[in-house]
Chains A and B, each alone.
Chain A
Amino acid sequence: MYETVIGMEVHVELQTRSKMFCGCSADHFQVAANRHICPVCTSHPGSLPVMNGRAVELAAMTGIALHCQVNPHSVFARKNYVYPDLPKGYQVSQYELPLCSDGWVEITVEGQTKRIGVVRVHLEEDTGKLIHSGGSSLIDYNRAGVPLMEIVSDSSIRSAEEAYQYLLKIRQIVRYLSASTGDMEKGAMRCEANISVREAGAAAYGTKVEVKNLNSFRAVRNAVDYETRRQIALIETGGTVRQVTVGWDEPSGTTREQRSKESSEDYRYFPEPDLLAINLDEKWIQARQAELPELPEPLTARLEAEYGLRRQDVALLTEDREIAAFFEAVVQHPGTDPRQAANWITGELFRRLKQDNTDIGATKVTPAALADLIALVAGGSINQNVARDVLGILWAEGGSASAVVESRGLAQISDTGELDSVVAEVIATHEEVVERIRQGNPKPLQFLMGQVMQATRGKANPQTVTELLKRQLGLE
């Protein structure tokens, strides 16, 4: 039996307006190349960097949310390497004295919660983008100098599923803080994993392989599975795992060895002389603490306790802070059943959000409209099926649920007199079916029910119809 040992390094682009050390716009997604550049981020001689204060705050808040200590004294360092993604010949990062250290996050896998240690959270600058074409490499420095936060876990992650859950948790937290979009597709969150295997129970770690280029949640899961299998197979056939850096290749589903990485000694880190130390006092740290929104764990506990919701529903509602806020906005309408609200949001709304690939902030369905819809169902004005159609209309056009029901004549028919004649007609036109029911087979009742619904365009009160059918067929 083997066990996999995984440590993760997650890079998160901070959601600031300007870059880490200069006033250039930090926006680089689908921007024409080299539009957001200046002497600082293209390393012209004599230019001097100045820290973006908001980036320091966002990284510290992330640290606090990850139960880290925000260090009273931290320092930027130069990580020296020669590669044109940064024209300076070094990346400004943090090394010996990071902004935050020693935290943890809790993940849940198969109902079991587990703490994963966070070794450090530090600040650095993102690099430019390279396009290799023919005999040249083309460089775009719009991304160079964008604030980047690196979150390093300890090696207590033990499976692909745990790695996946850890990454989800990190993304959830940075999103709650509005520290980052956490959007992996747009490169706002990128991931590397150090993976090794060892005999279960062994004290020593196996040789670790660093896997880069994990640009999606699926890639993380697949790469961990692949590397685990590859390393075990290697050991079992008498081979040894070498300490190498590999890149995940999504199309082939395999890892490929990359050019041997410089060791940390080779980076010749030293304190960045152009940037002053960051010294933070208790007051500053408390101000960041006060700025934190309600975080996923306390919010989850509160929603469970306050609204009597099931854990799995709360988990869905709190995945995204906006969703939770939407839910609370719905249930603040008097008389709204929280469980109904949760059902509508995690069911019908989620389905449509996913289908249209949009988020709750962009929908036309307002919390008031959903509360109204729930009230209409609860009060018997419309049935569940019609309500789903009404939601579809609200989704497409917005407006109020009552107005939609009113203007389209969708109100439920519960009036016995009106339904009596419809039921009588359905019975009269389906003699064969009626005969079977009278012979003691109750199944075709559903069919007759459907016929009545069709005749009333779905508006009939199902309970009333059932009663009327039974009465007219003499089944009572």
Chain B
Amino acid sequence: MPVELKDVRAVAELARLALTAEEETRLVSQLNEILGFMETLNELDTRGVEPTSHPVPMENVTRKDQIEPFAARGDLMAAAPEVAGDYYRVPRIMD
């Protein structure tokens, strides 16, 4: 099922992206092209191949439950567009 304009608009809405009409049209064709690649992949016979979520041969990488404080919280907050005292500030979000 090819991607249509309404699909692009729906995804853009979920991602809070404001697309121009020209961008929307371009994305429709680009996304359809990507789906085309998937069709090519679908030609492969993958019977007997275990589904995988990660391409690297690693698993269970965990850390100990230890507190390692980050020293430069000021730098983090300085990178935000806006702060108010100890808080990050954004335009009011309606519940």
Contacts and interface: CB of A to CB of B under 8 A. Distances in A.
B61 interface: yes
B21 interface: no
Contact of B63 (A23, A44, A138, A141): A23
B88 A53 contact: no
A33 interface: yes
Contacts of A22: 70
A393 to B, nearest CB: 41
B86 A140 contact: yes
B86 A137 contact: no
A75 B54 CA distance: 9
- Chain B CB count within 10 A is highest, among A44, A136, A268, for A136
Contacts of B59: 276-279
- Chain A CB count within 10 A is highest, among B11, B76, B87, B89, for B87
Contact of A52 (B63, B73, B77, B89): B63
Main secondary structure of the interface of A (DSSP, over half): loop
B38 interface: no
A17 interface: yes
A178 interface: no
A258 B95 CA distance: 8
Interface in A12-42: 16-18, 22-25, 32-39, 42
Interface residues of B, number: 36
B55 to A, nearest CB: 9
A132 B69 CA distance: 28
B6 interface: no
A259 interface: yes
Nearest to B63: A50
Contact of A42 (B61, B76, B85): B76
A144 to B, nearest CB: 11
A141 B88 contact: yes
Interface in A300-326: none
Interface in B29-72: 53-54, 56, 58-70
A137 B89 contact: yes
Interface string A222-259: 00000000000000000000000000000000000011
Nearest to A97: B53
B14 interface: yes
Nearest to A34: B86
Contacts of B86: 32-35, 140
Contacts of B76: 37-39, 42, 44
Contacts of B56: 276
Contacts, number: 130
A417 interface: no
Contacts of B95: 132, 258-259
B84 interface: yes
Nearest to A16: B65
A34 B88 contact: yes
A24 B69 contact: yes
A356 interface: no
B54 A51 contact: no
Contact of B62 (A50, A131, A262): A50
A221 interface: no
A112 B9 CA distance: 53
Interface in A263-287: 266, 268, 271, 273, 276-280
Given A271-B54, A276-B59, A277-B59, A37 B70 contact: yes
Nearest to B58: A276
A64 interface: no
A399 interface: no
Contact of A276 (B11, B16, B60): B60
A138 B89 contact: yes
A39 B76 CA distance: 7
A385 B66 CA distance: 51
Interface of B: 11, 14-16, 53-54, 56, 58-70, 73, 76-77, 79, 84-95
Given A37-B73, A140-B88, A276-B58, 9 more contacts: A18-B65, A22-B70, A33-B87, A34-B87, A53-B62, A137-B90, A138-B89, A141-B88, A271-B53
9 contacts: A33-B87, A38-B69, A53-B62, A54-B64, A82-B16, A136-B89, A136-B91, A277-B54, A278-B60
